[in-house]
């Protein structure tokens, strides 16, 4: 009986640890989801790696009848061999969606000034946290978002890349 109890405790601890690890990331009552996308630099077709690995965490919380949402964006871009000036403009769009409809949204252009600037080693890596969007409502809602880039020299205007929405709040 003692062996069975030990096994039960170990299995129970393992399951509990797994559940904790699978829970959404949160900070200050926010419920968050992260997702990653690979973006190609469209104006470059040479021998150097030119992809951007973009990870976005979308977060939402409900407090006193309001929903609050924001995004944290991190990217690992190409090295300095490609030069700079990748985009003409950029913004991150944060939306609060409820019942399949956009209830509030805001464009955050602050990401553009960071996107095209390399570090002292010529690497285009960076991060940006948007401001917070809010909406007064009782319906279950999520934070949704997209990175919108107007790549330089490709003539196709803004290209939008969406990321996984936050859990419902």
User: Digits of tens for pLDDT over the chain (169 positions)?
Assistant: 444 444 333 334 333 333 333 334 455 799 999 999 999 888 877 767 788 999 999 999 999 999 999 999 999 988 765 566 788 999 999 999 999 999 999 999 999 988 887 776 777 889 999 999 999 999 999 999 999 999 988 889 999 999 999 999 9
pLDDT of amino acid 15 = 37
pLDDT of amino acid 81 = 55
Residue 124, judged by CB atoms within 10 A of its CB (0-12, 13-18, 19+), counts as: buried
**Which token pair is 2?**
């003692």
φ, ψ (nearest 5 deg) of residue 122: 80, 15
Domains present along the chain, CATH in parentheses: 28-163 (2.60.40)
Tracing tokens 């690992």 back to the chain, one arrives at 76
SS3 115: helix
């Amino acid at each position: 009986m003692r062996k069975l109890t030990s096994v039960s405790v170990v299995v129970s601890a393992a399951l509990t640890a797994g559940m904790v690890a699978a829970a959404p990331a949160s900070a200050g009552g926010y419920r968050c989801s992260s997702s990653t996308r690979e973006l190609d630099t469209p104006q470059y077709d040479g021998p150097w790696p030119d992809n951007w690995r973009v990870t976005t965490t979308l977060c939402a919380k409900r407090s006193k009848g309001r929903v609050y949402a924001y995004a944290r964006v991190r990217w690992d871009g190409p090295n300095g061999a490609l030069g700079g000036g990748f985009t003409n403009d950029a913004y991150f769009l944060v939306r609060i969606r409820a019942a399949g409809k956009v209830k509030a949204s805001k464009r955050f252009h602050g990401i553009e000034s960071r996107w095209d600037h390399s570090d002292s080693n010529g690497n285009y890596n960076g991060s940006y946290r948007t401001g917070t969007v809010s909406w007064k409502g009782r319906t279950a809602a999520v934070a949704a978002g997209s990175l919108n880039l107007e790549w330089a020299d490709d003539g196709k205007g803004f290209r939008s890349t969406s990321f996984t929405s936050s859990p419902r709040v």
